[in-house]
Amino acid sequence: MSDDESDASSASSSSSSSDGSDEQDSTQQNQTQQQQQQQQRQQQKTDNDQQERPPKKKQKTTTNIPPPLEIAPTADAAQKQIDHQTNSLSITNTGNSNNSNSNKLIVLLDQAKLETIKNRRGAYELLNCDDHRDLCKKKLKRDPKEFRPDICHQELLALLDSPLNKAGMLQVYIRTSKNVLIELHPSVRIPRTYKRFAGLMVQLLHKMKIKASENGTTLMKVIKNPFSQHLPVGSRCYGMSCQGRLYSPSALIKELVPVDPNDAVAKGSGPVCFIIGAMATGHVTVEDHPYIEKMFSISEYPLSGAAAINRVLGAVEHQWGIV
């Protein structure tokens, strides 16, 4: 064999060996790339699974909860207790027809200016100094300042919104300047606005009665005079006027009202009745109410009727423990 042939054979063997090594490198690279791709796919799959899983609920930790604070009894609870007491008393005092008012505070709003008048359109309205000033001067020949039905409205709101009334311990009457006597049910809700109150009073004075639309309960009605025949036996009546004897509200109530409202019933004495004026000018007089025992005042300053009522009822509520 010649030298040329040996060189050719060696060159061919070297070229074949180099080609084989290149093929091995390429296959290794392909395998590593496939492994990396599989790892990436597995990582993405685990990430997606973690995102789709709902969050774990937090375990409730049991802690010692302090007991609630003691609060004052509600009006419903107080009403149930009062009804239970009155029912037990009515069993022992079946002969007394006015037993329902025997342990209540009675208030009479006297000389309320509640009069109706027919307007030009033929409808009836409650006569007042703002809308009928010229009519009062020319036709009625009277001072328009006297016609203040809003005073009665304010006093009724003060009475019926009080905790004493919500506890079922208050009975309210109205006596108008025309000597019309009106009895109010403790559950009646007086309209807040004067315009609606005026329409209600016109309806009452014409139909003589206002009933609830739900259960037919008589909320307001006109009753027969005199007022004294509607008072329970043994009632004590007192008038409120700035000309009466001056007392502080707490001292007055301590002297006139018993500490327990049921004590008066057990001892055979009647409830206390206060007569408060609902007019713009004038005073409550013994001539109009001869059954008044004494006249009292609760301030050295002239007060509105609503302010005087709030002071008196506040002292009674404190005396009877009504919150």
Of 37-51, 53-67, 181-195, minimum mean pLDDT range: 53-67
- pLDDT-derived band of residue 33, with 50, 70 and 90 as boundaries? confident
Give, in degrees to the nearest 5, the angle at Cα 235 between 229 and 240: 100
User: How far, CA to CA in Å, does 136 sit from each of 115, 127, 149?
Assistant: 12, 9, 14
Q: Is the dihedral of CA 144, 145, 146, 148 positive or negative?
A: positive
Q: What is the pLDDT of residue 101?
A: 65
Q: Is the pLDDT of residue 207 over 80?
A: yes
Rounded CA separation 26/266 (Å): 115
Q: Is the pLDDT of residue 251 over 70?
A: yes
In the predicted model, what is the mean pLDDT of residues 232-236? 90
Q: Which of these, 156, 253, 260, 250, lies nearest to 198 by C-alpha position? A: 156
Of 17-21, 94-98, 148-152, minimum mean pLDDT range: 94-98
Phi and psi for 295 in degrees, rounded to 5?
A: -110, 135
Q: Is the pLDDT of residue 30 over 80?
A: no
Which residue blocks in the chain are alpha helix, DSSP H?
3-52, 75-92, 133-138, 149-160, 163-166, 194-207, 249-256, 261-267, 305-320
Of 52-66, 80-94, 183-197, 285-299, minimum mean pLDDT range: 80-94
User: How far, CA to CA in Å, does 5 sit from each of 15, 19, 267?
Assistant: 15, 21, 150
Q: Is the pLDDT of residue 125 over 60?
A: yes
Q: Which of these, 167, 169, 187, lies nearest to 323 by C-alpha position? A: 167
Rounded CA separation 73/323 (Å): 8
Mean pLDDT for all residues in the chain:
79
What's the pLDDT tens digit per position in 74-119? 445 545 554 554 444 333 333 333 445 668 999 999 999 999 988 8
DSSP state of 175: E
DSSP state of 291: T
Greater confidence (181 vs 45) lies with 181
Greater confidence (94 vs 163) lies with 163
In sequence order, the β-bridge partners of residue 296 are 245
Q: pTM of the predicted model, to two decimals?
A: 0.68
In the predicted model, what is the mean pLDDT of residues 55-59? 55
Count of H-run helices and E-run strands, the chain: 9, 10
Exposed (0-12), middle (13-18) or buried (19+): which is 163, by Cβ within 10 Å?
middle
